[in-house]
Amino acid sequence: MDILLYDNWERKLRPFQPLRQDWAGLYCCGPTVYDYAHIGNLRTYLFEDVLRRTLEFNGHQVRHVVNITDVGHLVSDADDGEDKMEKGSRKAGESAWDIAERFTVAFKQDMRSLNMLEPHIWCKATDHIAEQIDFIRVIEEKGYTYITGDGVYFDTSRQDNYGYLARLNLEGQEAGKRVALGDKRNATDFALWKFSPAGETRQMEWDSPWGRGFPGWHIECSAMSAKYLEPWFDIHCGGEDHIPIHHTNEIAQTEACYGTRLANFWMHGYFLQIDAGKMSKSSGDFLRLQTLADRRVDPLAYRYLCLTAHYRSQLNFSWEALTAAQTALQRLRDTYLSWTGNAAAEADPRFVERFHAEINNDLNLPRALAVMWELLKAELPPQVKKATVDRFDAVLGLDLQHWQPVQEDIPAGIQALADRRKAARDSKNWAEADALRKELRELGYEVEDTAAGMTIKPV
């Protein structure tokens, strides 16, 4: 069954065929570790996780690479302002190296909490300074660079197709309007290497053929993806905000160095919206995954919420929508846990084929979820349903096989009342059952009847 994926380079759906026989290369732009990731960031990584799972569902071996940006990403994506790591260091009162480690650990924990598959390769910008310098040297030898008072810059006027990914209107990018020109020749030119300011010692700086300083943001991804996946690989992913600058500049660098646009497919996840605007760290007002956990929301409920919208559509976050997602996930878990019978049962091929067709149609997860909920209502043996949902969950990543109800420490007297209520309910004495439920609620406990049995929890 063919996989159709939307390629932003060509702006259309294209059949996916791996470039190599042994593996398909997947490079995903990772976090800049000057602060915690917010749930909008994590939505993009969830899309990329489902993409990898879909490729593997179709039998492809995937080599998944994610970078850690721990130097060079300035406050402005267009080479202006302070390095985000230096700014984060000053805010936290810790060294840039320490905050990079702390927020990298936090990001990886968020990935685990959301049941994302760990990349096969993590690569930090600060571990690959030599590769970035070598990359810049080749670009320089081919005549694409010039030097200003603050760094080595890429001359975008040398490429007739610069900005094609974003369909940039280069004539409209006049000096002083979108980007302060400074010593740059063109508004779209970007830094490959930035010099350390005179008389100032940065926490992160290195010697180079051009002077002491640090790499620009864009060069790390070109250098590291080429090292681990070769200069022409299958899929490059990131957020939609990467299209006009970061990914555009990655392509320009790699075309200058290797003559390729780096990746055969360019795929992007769209923003999480909150209060009619995109969630961002720059505002200082963003939601972390821990914020959801503090409100007793299972992180996988957020994963489920993200599955309900196509990755190429903006998703509006609300607490009501998240509560609905948690309710749906709990219903799915309870039903799954209630299925018993022949553990050797096989998945229903008709439902698997329908699910397969939806995920292969550019990761159409809302339609794939609809197939799953239809399966739950189907007249099929419980273990067949369970085996089928297990196949689905290889892509959905809801970790149903490992979920168990949380066992609260329930006082003996409360448990006895709940057992009496269950006995009354089993004997269809509804009046007594309702009275006992009310008594339990007054004592601070809620009883729920699920397909998996009775649960008791504090209100």
Per residue in 336-348, pLDDT (tens digit) is: 999 987 777 899 9
In the predicted structure, residue 383 carries a pLDDT above the cut 90: yes
Confidence category of residue 78, pLDDT binned at 50, 70, 90? low
Give the per-residue pLDDT at 404: 84
pLDDT value of position 177: 46
**For range 276-292, the mean pLDDT:** 74
pLDDT at 80 over 50: yes
Q: For tokens 């990935």, name the residue.
A: 111
Closest CA to 183 of 145, 151, 157, 210: 151
What's the rounded mean pLDDT across residues 386-403?
A: 96
**Confidence band (pLDDT; 50, 70, 90) for 284?**
low
Residue 180 has pLDDT above 60, yes or no: no
Per-residue pLDDT tens digits for 189-214: 999 999 998 888 889 999 999 999 99
100 or 444, higher pLDDT: 100
pLDDT for 282 equals: 57
For β-strands 233-239 and 24-28, DSSP reports them as parallel
* Per-residue pLDDT at 307 exceeds 80: yes
pLDDT at 178: 45
5 within 8 A of 265, measured Cβ to Cβ: yes
Confidence of residue 90 (pLDDT cuts 50, 70, 90): confident
Three-state secondary structure call for residue 103: helix
- For the question of whether the overall pTM of this predicted structure is more than 0.75, the answer is yes
Mean of all residue pLDDT scores within the chain: 91
- Indicate if the alpha-carbon torsion angle 9, 15, 21, 26 is positive or negative: positive
Residues 6+ apart with CB under 8 A from 303: 46, 114, 115, 397, 398
Q: Are 196 and 272 in contact (CB under 8 A)?
A: no
Mean pLDDT on 5-32: 97
Model confidence at 170: pLDDT above 80:
no
With beta carbons less than 8 A apart as the criterion, state whether 213 and 62 touch: no
Q: How deeply is 77 buried, as exposed, middle or buried, from its count of CB atoms within 10 A (0-12, 13-18, 19+)?
A: middle
**d(Cα 369, Cα 355) in Å, to the nearest integer?**
8
**pLDDT, tens digit, for every residue of 354-374?**
999 999 999 999 999 999 999
What is the per-residue pLDDT across 400-421, written as a single tens digit (0 to 9) for each?
999 988 766 678 788 788 889 9
pLDDT reported for residue 285 = 59
More confident residue, 384 or 457: 384
Q: What are phi and psi of 236, to 5 degrees?
A: -120, 130
Q: What proportions of the chain, in percent to the nearest 5, are helix, strand and coil? A: 45, 15, 40
Asked which of 147-161, 255-269, 275-289 is least confident by mean pLDDT, the reply is 275-289
Q: What is the mean pLDDT of residues 120-142?
A: 98
Tell whether the model's pLDDT for residue 111 goes beyond 70.
Answer: yes
pLDDT for 276 equals 60
Name the residue with higher pLDDT: 417 or 53: 53
Q: Which residue has the higher pLDDT, 179 or 375?
A: 375
Give the H/E segment covering residue 140.
helix 129-141
pLDDT band for position 183 (cuts 50, 70, 90): confident
Q: What is the mean pLDDT of residues 109-134?
A: 98
224 neighbors 128 (Cβ within 8 angstroms) = yes
Query: What local confidence, expressed as pLDDT, does residue 175 receive?
Result: 44
Name the strand (E) or helix (H) holding 123.
Answer: strand 121-124
pLDDT of residue 209: 97
User: Residue type at 79?
Assistant: D
Q: How far apart are CA 43 and CA 30, in angstroms?
A: 12
Residue with tokens 């990898």: 52
Q: What pLDDT band is residue 280 in, cutting at 50, 70 and 90?
A: low
